[in-house]
Amino acid sequence: MNSETMKKTPLTEVCRASGGKMVPFAGYEMPVQFSSTMDEHLAVRRGVGLFDVSHMGEVFVTGPDALKLLQQLTCNNVEKLKDGQIHYSGLMYPEGTFVDDLLVHRFDERRYMLCVNAANRDKDVRWILEHQTGDVQVEDASDRYAQIAIQGPKALETVQPLVDVDLSAIKYYWFTEGHVDGVPAIIARTGYTGEDGFELYVANEPAPKIWQRLMETGRPFGVVPCGLAARNTLRLEAKMALYGNDIDNTTTVLEADLGWICKLQKDDFIGKAVLLKQKEEGLRRKLVGFEMLDRGIARDHYPVFVDGQPFGHVTSGSYAPYLQKNIGLAYLPAEHAAVGTKFAVEIRGKQVAAQVVETPFYKRSY
Amino acid sequence: MYSDDYLYTKEHEWVRVENGEVTMGITHHAQEELGDIVFVELPEVGKVLAAGDTLGSIESVKAVSDVYAPVSGEVIVANDLLTDKPELINQEPHGGGWIAKIRLSEKSELDGLLSADDYEAYLGEEKKH
């Protein structure tokens, strides 16, 4: 893909001007790194970092039958959501595998916003439209929204001076509508880093100015712009799944160790029958977190060996900048998935010892 | 940035020749491309390598990259400091971040390496693609 066919986010040029090293990602020209992935990662763990996440999709599902449709399409229990609440969920195939993973925001009983992966956006919208029944409208509003993530222990203090709502009143995984720098915004206390933080959804046009304002209000806390590489190492330390790596159309929500978003007691939803059966019969494999015991960094797609036999590959692997360990995720046979189990990762032709560990690798202490 | 006292390879290594010994490392450009370096696999001392053989590897947060022998010869010293301080390659790629010293077996191989000017021209070419 060349730069002419790549889409720009409203913040692509701001990121480039700030020294972002731009790469193609999900069809967009996005910053992979600014100064240093390590510095960006640590800034988010210790202070605050800004991310352009405008590539993410925003899909509005509205109407009297919106709740019913989302209950049918996703595995978490949408009925439990209160106005202003958000949950993580999966858009399911009949096999109990992922069309996508997503955040569901409830404005009220008849209005929801789905935040979906950029690479899956068109597929998701098609899937939702194919299953649309009753009185419900589906609108892909992605091209109208910029999205900025402000992440880190100092995120609240960075955003508060620019908004007209009391951010401390918004609980984690809740949101409100307000204004940022005078501009209407959806202000959600969510993120993909394992830190406290906010994700601001605003119109495209004012986004660059808001980004600059956040760079100013965040300055006392050492704010830095962060790229996709730091976003990836941060989410991996927090064991948050990445679609296309850790989860996809071949992995079920149960295998992915995401049972907590899979509400098998709720009324029928797509995939439920297969997932119920899988739960009864037991899983064949399970996504685990591991640490390398010997020297070497396990990276995405490196082969995994259990008792000398090949068993899939590393779905995500990296040096973990905050933990200063080499960590990763992989599907292991369910009977070899307990914490403490040893296995091997083939790193450039050599089998190197690894061990299943408790996850998340990193959990914030505040 | 690129000293005339060194020679360079298209694989982004530099060499400095002294009395039939070659000190080598990766170039400023290479470390910049790799980003934060977190692990260096050094060559074994005594190993005899042909030019182009894999000499070791460098891992950054985002990628792993092989390091190739820029010339043929025996590895006589490896920079053990890099085991605990791999970031030296980021900080001083052309100095304290050197990787190994090789006893040169084919002096004529040096003729095939790039001068500083040639290397900079090569970087310019690469950028266009």
A250-267 average pLDDT score: 97
B84-95 average pLDDT score: 96
Q: Is A234 exposed, middle or buried (0-12, 13-18, 19+ CB in 10 A)?
A: buried
Percent of chain A with pLDDT over 90: 98
Residue A23 touches partner B, C-beta closer than 8 Å: no
Angle, alpha carbons A292-A297-A301 (nearest 5°): 100
pLDDT at B129: 61
Tell me which residues of chain A, numbers 166 to 225, contact chain B at a CB-CB cutoff of 8 Å. Answer: none
Residue A323 touches partner B, C-beta closer than 8 Å: no
Does the interface ipTM go beyond 0.85?
no
pLDDT per position as a tens digit, A65-83 = 999 999 999 999 999 999 9
B32-54 average pLDDT score: 95
A14-21: Cβ within 8 A, 24+ apart: A14/A52, A14/A208, A14/A211, A14/A212, A15/A52, A15/A225, A18/A225, A20/A225, A20/A227, A21/A227
- State the pLDDT confidence band at A133, using cuts at 50, 70 and 90: very high
pLDDT per position as a tens digit, A3-17 = 567 999 999 999 999
pLDDT at A5: 77
B50-75 average pLDDT score: 95
pLDDT per position as a tens digit, A303-357 = 999 999 999 999 999 999 999 999 999 999 999 999 999 999 999 899 999 999 9
Residue B45 touches partner A, C-beta closer than 8 Å: no
From residue B72, how far is each of A208, B104, B128 by CA, in Å? 53, 6, 31
B3-18 average pLDDT score: 96
Q: In Å, how far is A144's CA from the nearest CA of chain B?
A: 32
Cis peptide before A360 (omega within 30 of 0): yes
A173-198 average pLDDT score: 98
pLDDT at B60: 94
Query: Chain B residues with CB inside 8 Å of A299's CB?
Result: 64
pLDDT at A2: 55
Phi, psi values for residue A185, rounded to 5°: -150, 150
Q: Which two tokens stand for residue A112?
A: 């929801």
Who wins on pLDDT, B19 or A169?
A: A169
Q: What does B78-121 look like in DSSP terms, one character per residue?
A: E-THHHH-TTHHHH-TTTTT--EEEEES-GGGGGGSBPHHHHHH
- State the pLDDT confidence band at B127, using cuts at 50, 70 and 90: confident
Q: For residue A63, is pLDDT > 80?
A: yes
B26-46 average pLDDT score: 95
pLDDT at A278: 97
Q: For residue B86, is pLDDT > 60?
A: yes
Query: Chain A residues with CB inside 8 Å of B67's CB?
Result: none
Residue B36 touches partner A, C-beta closer than 8 Å: yes
Percent of chain B with pLDDT over 90: 92
Q: For residue A136, is pLDDT > 90?
A: yes
Residue to test with chain B: of A23, A32, A36, most B Cβ within 10 A: A36
pLDDT at B1: 85
In chain A, whose CA is at the least distance from the CA of B59?
Answer: A297
Q: In Å, how far is A118's CA from the nearest CA of chain B?
A: 22
pLDDT per position as a tens digit, A22-35 = 999 999 999 999 99
Tell me which residues of chain A, numbers 292 to 311, contact chain B at a CB-CB cutoff of 8 Å. Answer: 295-297, 299
Residue to test with chain A: of B32, B36, B54, B127, most A Cβ within 10 A: B36
- State the pLDDT confidence band at B62, using cuts at 50, 70 and 90: confident
Query: Chain A residues with CB inside 8 Å of B62's CB?
Result: 32-33, 37, 229, 318
Tell me which residues of chain B, numbers 50 to 109, contact chain A at a CB-CB cutoff of 8 Å. Answer: 57, 59, 61-62, 64
A139-148 average pLDDT score: 98
